[in-house]
Amino acid sequence: MLRILRTGAAAALAAALLSCGGGGGGGISTGVGTSPAASNVADVVVDSGPSNSSVNTLFTTVTVCVPGSTTNCQTIDHIQVDTASFGLRILASVLTLTLPVQKATDGNSLVECTVFADGYSWGPVELTDMQIAGESAASLPIQVIGDPRFTSVPSDCSDAGPTEEDTVATFGANGILGIGVFMQDCGQTCVNSANPQYYYSCTATACQATTVPLAGQVANPESFFAVDNNGAIIDLPSVAAQGAPSITGSLIFGIDTQSNNASGNEAVLTVDPNYGYLTALFNGQTLSQSFIDTGSNGNYFDDSNIPQCSESDLSTFYCPVNSQSLTATLQGANGMTAAVSFIAGNAQTMLADSTTFAVFPELAGTNPVSGSFDFGLPFYYGRRVATALELQTTSAGTGPYIAF
């Protein structure tokens, strides 16, 4: 869909930029469970994705197996890597395996409503043995989105968001791998109370919100690894100002567990233990709900000095005449700080000039949440960024933290 940009079609421009509408599919192979060479490094890529319309979206490849089997497995590419969510979610339409559906504490099927800012995804919690690079997570609870056995979405799930995202086209990837700082997607909130928009106990005819113990929740697979299980490092190359068609990099599991993931002299910024926030100091503002997120496809912040784009569907993006070099200071909950330089370019011209590109280091826009600076995937270009899991230690400190 990026190619459509040349025509100047506004809707296509917006869809290409921010979402991932379009065709499905995308290189799914069914394997025979041969383990990759023992390694803690998974390849990652930023490209236009299975819908051929993604921008600044990081993908990797995972292998899932029926629990206990080493042969009944499937390798799935273009799984989005997201450091702002937790756990593996796969679109049912690309999954050829039948995995066991988990049960709620009352014995009914356990089904989850995953709410995003722009919509919701519905599907059961199922168990898999997952492999990525040389790491394995056995009996891992994952969500299978859009499972045809569970099509009746309860209203208090669908009332949360504007769009049901249960297909590759609407979801924008074949799945998502949440490897942020927390162990489970919901945590104690779902142990304490039955909340709409998280877990449901479903019979054949009805669903009701339910509590779920931590062990039953969709979980960050890193916490299931036997080794290299205290976090991960994302290492991406720098990108020329005008962007690139695609880039490749590394997702390295573990921190200070192997020779390739040693801590050095990075700034170690702890994040708040409830929400994962950092504080950003920018233009005299103290933005206490800030974060670094591979799942955001630009840098999003409010700066009234930079003009927004005139194109109506890009109106929340910045379109300065000349690229603006800016600086913010990130501050951890531990008081540690790090200066971050970044560039806000002209979204309209960068997209129009490079219609086949999927990598745009200068893409920036306004932030819908006050008090927040969202450093998205462009932050990672040219950096090596460690994300340490909650309660886990490395030689640089105890998670949850971000270091770069």
Name which position in 59, 122, 150, 198 contacts another protein (CB under 8 A).
198
CA separation for the pair 284, 240 (Å, rounded): 29
Among 59, 300, 375, 380, binds another protein (CB under 8 A): 300
331 part of the interface to another protein, by CB under 8 A: no
* 223 interacts with another protein by CB under 8 A: no
Of 304 and 395, nearer to another protein (C-beta) is 304
**Cα–Cα distances in Å, from 346 out to 117, 309, 317, 341?**
25, 8, 8, 17
Determine contact, residues 221/179, Cβ cutoff 8 Å. yes
Return d(Cα 345, Cα 307) in angstroms, integer.
11
Q: Round the CA-based radius of gyration of the chain to a whole number and report it.
A: 20
Report the distance separating Cα 328 and Cα 315, nearest Å: 23
Of residues 124, 276, 361, 378, which one binds another protein by CB under 8 A? Answer: 276
Name which of 155 and 259 has its Cβ closer to another protein: 155
> Per-residue string for binding with another protein, 51-70, x by CB under 8 A?
--------------------
Question: Which position among 238, 275, 305, 395 is part of the footprint of another protein (CB under 8 A)?
Answer: 275
User: Is 388 in contact with 401 (CB distance < 8 Å)?
Assistant: yes
d(CA 104, CA 202): 8
C-alpha to C-alpha distance for 60 and 45, rounded to whole angstroms: 6
Query: Cβ of residue 347: shortest distance to another protein, in angstroms?
Result: 10
Binding to another protein by CB under 8 A, coded x per residue (else -) over 118-157, reads xx-----------------------------------xx-
Placement of tokens 């994300």 in the chain: 387
Measure the CA–CA gap between 225 and 139, rounded to whole angstroms: 11
Among 274, 325, 327, 329, binds another protein (CB under 8 A): 274
Q: Does 199 bind another protein (CB under 8 A)?
A: no
Binding map of another protein across residues 154-183, x = CB under 8 A, - = no contact: -xx--xxxxx--------x-------xxx-
Distance CA 36, CA 292 (A): 30
| Residue 373 binds another protein (CB under 8 A) | no
Lookup: tokens for 91: 């679109």
| Closer residue to another protein in complex, CB, 41/287 | 287
375: contact with another protein by CB under 8 A: no
The residue (of 40 and 290) whose beta carbon lies closer to another protein is 290
Determine if 265 is a binding residue for another protein (CB under 8 A): no
Q: How far is the CB of 227 from another protein (least distance, A)?
A: 25
The answer to whether 293 contacts another protein (rule: CB under 8 A) is: yes
- If binding means CB under 8 A, how many residues of this protein chain bind another protein? 61
Alpha carbon distances (Å) from 357 to 9, 20, 170, 243, 382? 17, 14, 21, 7, 18
Is residue 372 close enough to count as binding another protein by CB under 8 A? yes
Per-residue three-class SS string for 245-295: CCEEEEEEECCCCCHHHCCCCCCEEECCCCCCCEEEEECCEEEEEEEECCC
Nearer Cβ to another protein (17/104): 17
How many whole angstroms separate alpha carbon 350 and alpha carbon 321? Answer: 12
Q: How many CB atoms lie within 10 A of CB 371?
A: 15
Q: Which is nearer to another protein, 15 or 396 (CB)?
A: 15
Q: Which residues bind another protein (CB under 8 A)?
A: 11, 14-15, 17-19, 21, 82, 84-86, 115-119, 155-156, 159-163, 172, 180-182, 185-187, 189, 193-198, 274-277, 289, 291, 293, 295-297, 300, 313-317, 366-370, 372, 374, 376
